[in-house]
Amino acid sequence: MPRRLRASAALLSPIVAALLLAPGASATDTPRVPSPAQAKSGPSLPGDCGHPPALRPHTFPARPRVNNTFLPLKPGTRLVLTGDVAGEDHRVVTTVTDLTKVIDGVRTVVVFDQDFNGDEIQESELAFFAQDRRGTVWRLGEYPEIYENGELVGAPDTWISGVEGAKAGIAMLARPRVGTPTYTEGLAPEIDFLDCATVFRTDQDVCVPVGCFHHVLVTDEFAPLDPEGGHQRKSYAPHVGNIKVEPVGEANPETLSLTEFTRLGREELAAVRKEVLEQDARGYEISPDVYGTTPPAQPARPKGLPVLP
């Protein structure tokens, strides 16, 4: 993910409290599962972000497969987006692994993101995605290791759906259309994380260094409690994914374009798998209270995975 948007803790805390307590309820009341009608009339997030979507594990297949037109996550796919952040050379390398991890009752695909300024790594992130049976792609958590001068300094921005009040969000709609209500991409009150997005344009023609694409989807991503962070317009090409990121009103603008789109060979994918499993194992030491609550990542089994309890 090219950039993580953060909200203000002072502003987010009362909003999260409102989401957790329905009108007339107290902190000691037994939680109730609202009906769809009740959910629509309950408290919503700021910035017209609507309501956090309800994650229903039974709507996901036991074996994860993400083949959404605008966000396909086929194992072995690698995308490299290159550009600059505030005038510095920047590169984001995204690799879809052949590993899975169970998050909040859902078996997810593990995606490996590496952010570089020049040749120096700034962040190494494991992100977790799953597609429900209707075709919507969900983001269920992130474990981003932060580096300074080439040295690992921690992973303070880790969030996992279902842990410490964090909620999964929508990474890509099944059928994105202009006019669709703004949706939440993820909510984690303990680290002041709130990202929202809306469908900005559809059926666009967009050219980047690797070529020109048609029928491109453009979304507008923002953090409503961080107005200085501005917005990001992200372009998604059919059957490819994110091909361009453009800033709107950012204090530290980030511009990225797709410069490489490849399918890794068996040996290359095995090397990535090894690196990701090492990072996954470190997560239990670096983030024991959050990441440590999840089971280890594991290779996807070619003949299917066991049904989750």
Per-residue pLDDT tens over the stretch 112-156? 999 999 889 999 999 999 999 999 999 999 999 999 999 999 999
- Structure pTM? 0.84
pLDDT tens profile 209-218: 999 999 999 9
**Which of 80-89, 207-216, 281-290 shows the lowest mean pLDDT across its residues?**
80-89
User: Which residues, other chains included, contact 30 with Cβ-Cβ below 8 Å and sequence gap of 6+?
Assistant: none
275 within 8 A of 73, measured Cβ to Cβ: no
Look at residues 263, 255, 257 and name the one whose alpha carbon lies nearest to residue 210. 257
The enclosing H or E element of 92 equals: strand 88-103
For 157-175, what is the mean pLDDT? 97
159 within 8 A of 193, measured Cβ to Cβ: yes
More confident residue, 209 or 228: 209
> Given the DSSP bridges, would you call strands 159-160 and 120-131 parallel, antiparallel or unpaired?
unpaired
Residue 46: predicted pLDDT: 54
Terminal-to-terminal C-alpha distance of the chain: 31
126 within 8 A of 112, measured Cβ to Cβ: yes
pLDDT tens profile 3-48: 443 333 333 444 344 333 333 333 333 223 333 333 343 346 655 7
pLDDT tens profile 173-226: 999 999 999 999 999 999 989 999 999 999 999 999 999 999 999 999 998 777
Rg (CA), the chain: 19
Query: Is the model's pLDDT at 277 over the cut of 60?
Result: yes
Rounded distance between C-alpha atoms, residue 84 and residue 28, angstroms: 49
Residues composing the chain: 309
